[in-house]
Amino acid sequence: MNLEEIDATLEGVKDRWDHAGAPYNADMLALIRAAEAMRALLPDSGLPKAWADLLAGLALLAKHPSNDISPLNCTANELTVMADPELFTPEEIDRLDTLGFIDGPTGTFNSFRFGSA
């Protein structure tokens, strides 16, 4: 989806919702937040590239978490994301590598690009 398609879809849903006269409930608010998050991941989002890459990587890594309570750890200039590499497709692994996340040694992904400064 491109930015225009996301905006058009969200506006269409909002229009139908408003036409029904119903206040926004938790589902509608979640849809709005999801659309805003998708906008942030697009190349034309206006975010600096590093921020867009970080958000895109984290969104992809969240598909297969291995720790729902503490998904991130950052020490010694290395960001570790608790996501199980064995559950990702080779294409997803390549995409994560391009974004700066590499398959870690212990069932995690690591990034020196997004580690502490």
Please give the C-alpha separations between residue 8 and each of 2, 14, 34, 63, in angstroms, as whole numbers.
Answer: 10, 10, 14, 26
Every domain of the chain and the residues it spans? 3-41, 49-111
Indicate whether this model's pTM tops 0.85: no
> What's the confidence (pLDDT) of residue 40?
65
**Spatial contact of 93 and 103, defined as CB atoms under 8 Å apart:** yes
Q: Dihedral, CA atoms, 2, 63, 57, 116, nearest 10 degrees?
A: 150
| pLDDT for residue 1 is more than 70 | no
Average pLDDT rounded to a whole number, residues 26-36: 71
Q: What count of other Cβ atoms lies within 10 Å of the Cβ of residue 66? A: 17
First to last CA, the chain: 34
Q: Is the dihedral of CA 21, 27, 33, 38 positive or negative?
A: negative
Say if residues 104 and 110 touch (Cβ distance below 8 Å). Answer: yes
In this prediction, what percent of the chain has a pLDDT beyond 70? 84
